[in-house]
Amino acid sequence: MRRIVVVGNGIAGLTACDSLRSAGFDGELTVVGAERHHPYSRPALSKALLHGDDDLTSHELPAPTHEATELLGLSATSLDTDARLVRLEDGGELPYDGLVIASGARAKRLATAPGSDGSAREVTVRTIEDAIALKQHVAARPSVLVIGGGPLGMEVASGCLQAGCQVTLVSDAAPLARQLGEHLSDVFTSAAIRRGLRVMGGGKARLVESGAGALVVLADGTELDADLIVTAIGDEPNTGWLAGSGLLVDGSLRVDSRGRLREDIVAAGDVAFFPTRHGLARVPLWTSAIEQAKTAALGLLRGEAAPEFDFQPYFWTEGFGLSLKAVGPTPVIGAPDYCEPGKDPESMLLRWENADGTGTAAAINYRIPIPKLRRLATTGPDALRPAAPARL
């Protein structure tokens, strides 16, 4: 391969480029990015950037060193796999010998009533522009309605509370329960309520027109309004440009254990479904995108000789005075099998033994190196005991 094109300039695209170079690819490398920015830390948008002071640099990553030709602020519109061409929105075409699909995902939006344009008041958080706009909105301390009780919704709600806003969070399940399980959900929800968050159920939400602009109406008929409506109900893979390419299966991009769709095409990150220990799944985590991109880059260059994807999930979130790091499969079921209290009442180290024989470890406000947390998840509490002194 002498020409490789990478579609997507997020962390998966960046990692793919770096991995290709590290593996010895010295040919023509071109990156197509719909955003006009160099890659940045998307998790920081709802963590440090929203929670912090006026510093707007918490999302920044070091400048790329892969020396690829970068076409930023430009989207791919279609793919011709027979001719090996990526077509661009400006009418240009990029020929390739190898292709990395890392086009990511976009924020989902609420359904609206027929003829309604309530989306004009709906804010999402996916890009750096979204996050800065939200930070500016929140500075005026509006009342805020957050739709979605996943990690993003909870982090946004926490940031708005910290800024002095009155915040209501609507979730059709217990906050964070789908991602982490009931036990950790209870820990975070209790901390959130103590700090003033109002949590509501009521089923799925939709936007409808009202005399004042727009209302959020829940499945049970409850009507809610606020100065600012923030939607955090998940994401949708950016696969529209692949229609007609023959790569999609039931609308999804499904790769093998080396990230391959064909010998000359691989995919990684939020756009792709990968084989995991628990079946084929899309795992929209920052660390997953990195590991998938490393796998896909080697899969493109080395084929069957490349290592297969084997990923131990790592997840972190923070908000409401809590910082959680978790290693291993989630959501966890039931109470932990192991719990070590930390130095303050909201500090603890936890471990679950899962039904499939794997372990999950979580640290809440507990100082522990990530490698040690990984060992706790893998081997159990014995990983925390100091090594026996060597005999002379």
Least confident piece of the model among 66-80, 81-95, 165-179, 216-230 = 216-230
Which tens digit of pLDDT belongs to each residue from 331-360? 999 999 999 999 888 899 999 999 988 999
Residue 164 has pLDDT above 70, yes or no: yes
Residue 214 has pLDDT above 80, yes or no: no
Which tens digit of pLDDT belongs to each residue from 278-313? 789 999 999 999 999 999 999 999 999 999 998 889
Q: Beta strand pairing status for 279-281 and 272-276? A: antiparallel
Residue 87 has pLDDT above 80, yes or no: yes
Which tens digit of pLDDT belongs to each residue from 353-389? 999 889 999 999 999 999 999 999 999 998 787 655 6
Residue 329 has pLDDT above 60, yes or no: yes
pLDDT above 70 coverage of the chain, percent:
93
312 within 8 A of 283, measured Cβ to Cβ: no
Which tens digit of pLDDT belongs to each residue from 105-137? 999 998 775 555 545 578 999 998 999 899 989
Every domain of the chain and the residues it spans: 3-106+236-305, 111-233, 332-384
**pLDDT value of position 115:** 53
Angle, in degrees to the nearest 10, between helices 151-162 and 128-138: 40
* Geometric angle at alpha carbon 47, from 42 and 53, rounded to 5°: 115
**Would 3-106+236-305 and 111-233 be classified into the same CATH topology?**
yes
* Eight-class DSSP state of 61: -
d(CA 333, CA 330) in angstroms, rounded, equals 8
CATH topology of domain 111-233: FAD/NAD(P)-binding domain (3.50.50)
Prior bond to 43 cis, omega within 30?
no
With tokens 């002498």, the residue in question is: 2
- Provide mean pLDDT across the span 137-165: 94
35 is written with which tokens?
A: 């955003």
At the second CATH level, the architecture of 3-106+236-305 is: 3-Layer(bba) Sandwich (3.50)
Q: Give the torsion through C-alpha atoms of 193, 140, 154, 279, to 10 deg.
A: 170
34 is written with which tokens?
A: 């719909």
Which tens digit of pLDDT belongs to each residue from 38-48? 888 888 888 87
With tokens 């099998």, the residue in question is: 337
Residue 88 has pLDDT above 70, yes or no: yes
R_g (Cα) of the chain, nearest Å:
22
Tell me the pLDDT of the chain averaged across its residues: 91
With tokens 């190898």, the residue in question is: 98
Q: Which residue has the higher pLDDT, 311 or 16?
A: 16
Query: CA nearest 61: which of 114, 6, 14?
Result: 14
DSSP sequence for 97-161? SEEEE---EEE---EE-TT--GGGGEE--SSHHHHHHHHHHHTT---EEEE--SHHHHHHHHHHH
**pTM, to two decimals:** 0.91
Confidence band for 26, pLDDT divided at 50, 70 and 90: very high
